[in-house]
């Protein structure tokens, strides 16, 4: 990676579109680069910053959570502590999603095993209703 890269090169190295870089800049997740003749020029750390953002996205963090991760803590708090706090919260949310998915799976499997001719007559549906 060289210094002073144009937006297209940073996007290529990060596997993103240039519009993604502009968006991340506009919401404060990527620092605004310096400009030369009106064109964005990125330093050598830009690709790594984008990789960290992609990692956070893959972990399921929302844009708001990523903003908190990068900008929402006390200046002296180390990044690992920031990530730990948000990751523990996200794991709790994921546990709820998994429990809901298992419940959905059970309902669907029970529905497939049902022998009712008409849905309107099915006792399973009557048991899960309001």
**Per-residue confidence in pLDDT tens, the chain, 130 aa:** 447 899 999 999 999 999 999 999 999 999 889 999 989 999 989 999 999 999 999 999 999 999 988 887 777 888 788 889 899 999 999 999 999 999 999 888 888 888 777 777 777 776 765 6
- pTM of full prediction above 0.75: no
Which CATH number is associated with domain 1-72?
1.10.1660.10
CB-based contact 10:50 (threshold 8 Å): yes
Determine contact, residues 29/53, Cβ cutoff 8 Å: yes
* 91-97 CB contacts, 8 Å cutoff, 24+ apart: 93/60, 94/60
Q: So where are the chain's domains? A: 1-72, 74-130
């Amino acid at each position: 990676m060289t210094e002073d890269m144009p937006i297209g090169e940073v996007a290529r190295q990060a596997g993103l579109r240039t519009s993604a870089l502009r968006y991340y800049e506009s919401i404060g997740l990527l620092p605004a680069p310096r400009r030369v003749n009106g064109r964005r020029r990125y330093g050598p750390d830009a690709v790594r910053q984008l990789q960290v953002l992609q990692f956070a996205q893959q972990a399921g963090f929302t844009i708001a959570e990523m903003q908190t991760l990068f900008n929402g803590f006390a200046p002296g708090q180390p990044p690992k502590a920031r990530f730990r706090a948000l990751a523990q919260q996200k794991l709790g949310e994921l546990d709820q999603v998994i429990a809901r998915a298992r419940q959905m799976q059970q309902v669907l499997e029970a529905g497939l095993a049902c022998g009712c001719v008409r849905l309107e007559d099915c006792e399973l549906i009557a048991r899960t209703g309001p």
